[in-house]
Amino acid sequence: MTKFRTKLLLALISLIIVVLAATGLLLGQLFKGHYVNYFNERAHKETLFISNYIKEIGGINNFLREGSQTELTALLGSHFTLISKNGTMLYDSHTNRKNLPENHADILRQVMEAKGTSREGSEVVKGSPNLHYYWKAIEKDNKVEGYVVLSNEMDVLQKANRQMWWILIGSIGASLIAIILIGSRIAMRYTRPIESAATTAIELAKGNYRARTYEDRSDIAGGLSTSLNILARNLQEMEIAREMQQDRLETLIENIGSGVMLIDNKGYVTLINREYKELFNVEASDILYRLYYEVIRHKEIIHIIEEIFMIEQSIKRQLLIPLAIERKHFEVYGAPIIGNHDEWKGVLVVLHDITELKKLEQVRKDFVANVSHELKTPITSIKGFSETLLDGAMKDEEALQYFLSIILKESDRMQALIQELLDLSKIEQQEFVLNTENLDLPHLLQETCEIL
């Protein structure tokens, strides 16, 4: 962010330098033009005054005879020269000149030759020093009698121009320094909260939702900091809620009593829980992010998953799957995962181990068969002895007594079996109370032999 501040400050300084430089050049040209115009205007007035003065006293010859040159030279304070219309120098004042060039007469002749037919004009002759010539025709009876040429050195103008440039450079430099100081403070004032906000945004992008920025101002930058802090707090609360929900979901999936497998819409396994790994004796690294038909060894499960992909409906089936040295019964439930906008996301497969339920079911079947067999024996005995009595054995008192005693014993046996069934029902309902008593085993064996 320091680079951003430096770039901003450099751009601001560059813009200010360009503006100030352009302003300085424009003002320099304006000042220079003003001085040149002033110089020309002064020369025009002086030459006009000289020509009018000579004209009033009767022409150049009267001016030269009366000896008014000294008074006029002292009055003007400028160097002027009188030239005839054919270019002959009639008078030269040699006033206000530091250096008189040797070829002054030649320069005047060249100026006169270059003027053409114009009766008034100016020209700057380059040299050391530069000379400014301004001429005007002297008329007598509406005819040109000669010319007055006013010449001045340009050092005054150049000196004023240099002073003007130094003043401009000094003022522009001072303005530039002041603007740089003020601009740097403004840049610091406005870029510092932006830098802090950018740093906080970078931390938020990295996942550090505890990052905050300072809120010490009430302007736009302060509003940005406040909004960023609100965003950070909301993200932190959402992250906490997401982590809690994820922990709950992971706890539920890992501790559910069934194997769980999650497959994405491309067929890659993205999740298996601990129960699945224990049931099938596999590691997560061997299964995750691989195609399901490459890592599942049981074709029955693969067929169920393929069918879900094809019909996009839930399927529930019971399978007998061999695992190591035993075979286990599973109730397999598969369901498609479809998003809010009917977007296919994958398949969820849940495997319930129902082996114990199957064993219990088989025990119940065996128990019913055994009870049926145990009930069948006394009923058969009772029926047989009852038919014997009905066939005529009732008249034999001894046989009647014997058969009735057997029927009674078998009835008691049936009652004991029924009582045992009731006791088993109470055991399942956890209402059974165990009563211990002595058993006469020889007597029991003797009764069994008599019945047989």
- Among residues 353, 374, 395, which one ends one of the domains? 353
What is the model's pLDDT at position 154?
A: 64
Please give the model's pTM, rounded to 2 decimal places.
0.47
CATH number for position 445: 1.10.287.130
What is the model's pLDDT at position 349?
A: 92
- Find the domain containing 333 and state its range: 257-353
Residues 218 and 304 in one domain: no
Residues 265 and 243 in one domain: no
pLDDT tens figures, 123-180: 666 655 566 777 677 777 777 777 777 776 666 666 766 777 787 778 777 877 887 7
pLDDT tens figures, 239-264: 888 888 888 888 888 888 889 999 99
The answer to whether residue 229 sits within a structural domain is yes
Residues 130 and 51 in one domain: yes
Residues 152 and 33 in one domain: yes
CATH number for position 73: 3.30.450.20
Residues 331 and 386 in one domain: no
Calculate mean pLDDT across residues 20-48.
Answer: 74
The answer to whether residue 182 sits within a structural domain is no
| 326 phi and psi angles, rounded to 5 deg | -135, 165
The answer to whether residue 379 sits within a structural domain is yes
Residues 219 and 286 in one domain: no
The answer to whether residue 195 sits within a structural domain is no
Rounded Cα gap, residues 278 and 273, in angstroms? 9
Residues 386 and 336 in one domain: no
Rounded Cα gap, residues 134 and 118, in angstroms? 12
Calculate mean pLDDT across residues 381-401.
Answer: 75
Residues 7 and 150 in one domain: yes
Is pLDDT larger for residue 192 or for residue 296?
Answer: 296
What is the number of domains present in the chain? 4
pLDDT tens figures, 193-228: 777 777 787 888 887 877 877 766 656 666 777 787
H-type helices in 266-352, by residue range?
274-280, 292-295, 299-311
Is pLDDT larger for residue 128 or for residue 31?
Answer: 31
Tokens of 116: 């053409």
Query: In which element (H, E) is residue 426 found?
Result: helix 397-428
The residues, ordered by sequence, that sit 6+ positions from 320 with a Cβ below 8 Å of its Cβ are 327, 328, 329, 330
Determine what percent of the chain is predicted with pLDDT higher than 70. 77
Residues 242 and 267 in one domain: no
The answer to whether residue 270 sits within a structural domain is yes
The answer to whether residue 285 sits within a structural domain is yes
Calculate mean pLDDT across residues 384-395.
Answer: 74
